[in-house]
Amino acid sequence: MHEASTSDETGKGVPAHAVEAGSGEQPHPGDIVIDRDLGVAPEPLVGADVSTALDEDESGTTIPPAALWAMKDRRHTQWHLLASSERHQRLRQTFGDGPGMVHAIDDGRHHAMIGRIVGTTGGDVSYCLVGRVTREHLSALESGSVPTEAAFAVATEITLCGVAIEVGVESSNVFDVSRYATGADIPEEYLPGVQEHHFGSPLEITIY
């Protein structure tokens, strides 16, 4: 990843150390906060300290930021980029409670993204399991006919994401850690119903 020297419609690069040091070089919506110590090539979601995730109003949501940003980053349809005449109803839902809690956001008119926080490493990185499901499956979760423990059973595009939140800036670097072809391939310790882990060290990235 290269830092751009000027700002344009796609944003510019702002080194993370400059933000942390309070140098006055603050990021704006569309900028990339570059952290060279992260050790991965991140796919960033960024903004200024007064913006919201992906520049949408999220003031009413109770979904944890790490899970919200991971689901937004992996969904197919970005609601805020659609013309007003093409926008579907936005969705923010949480099913279950405690370790069985699963969150959901819209992904177009016929699908949704679901996600849960699997664990953290020292507060620097949160690991989130995300997947894509149909609205019919989401309705089954809402009615209780499908328990949250089985939320990922028929999901597609299942990914364990790492979310590195920039301190003092409402932005996040989202990167893939592992991918699973089907719900049956997900390690049991990552599924809903298992308590959140506190990993002693960063998880090994298995995607290259």
Residue 99, pLDDT > 80, answer yes
Facing residues of 126 across strands? 120, 163
Containing structural domain, residue 86: 13-198
pLDDT for 113 beyond 60: yes
- Report how many domains make up the chain: 1
Q: Which of 27-41, 108-122, 139-153 is the least confident region?
A: 27-41
**Does residue 40 sit within a domain?**
yes
Task: Using a cut of 0.85, tell me whether the model's pTM lies above it.
Answer: no
Residue 52 inside a domain? The answer is: yes
Q: In the predicted model, is pLDDT for residue 80 greater than 90?
A: no
Mean residue pLDDT across the chain: 76
Q: In the chain, what percentage of residues exceed pLDDT 90?
A: 43
2 within a domain of the structure (yes/no): no
The residue with tokens 């013309």 is 83
pLDDT band at 4 (very low <50, low <70, confident <90, very high): very low
pLDDT tier at 3, thresholds 50, 70, 90: very low
d(CA 74, CA 96): 22
Q: What pLDDT score does 1 carry?
A: 35
Give domain status of residue 46, yes or no. yes
Does residue 88 have a pLDDT over 90? no
174 within a domain of the structure (yes/no): yes
- Which comes out higher in pLDDT, residue 118 or 79? 118
Report residue 170: phi and psi, to 5°: -80, 70
Instruction: Indicate whether 130 pLDDT > 50.
Output: yes
Residue 194 CA to residue 202 CA, distance in Å, equals: 19
Asked, for residue 117, whether it belongs to a domain, the answer is: yes
Mean pLDDT, rounded, for 79-99: 75
For residue 73, the model assigns a pLDDT of 86
How many whole angstroms separate alpha carbon 112 and alpha carbon 114?
7
3 domain residue, yes or no:
no
Q: Is residue 107 in a domain?
A: yes
Which pLDDT belongs to residue 95?
94
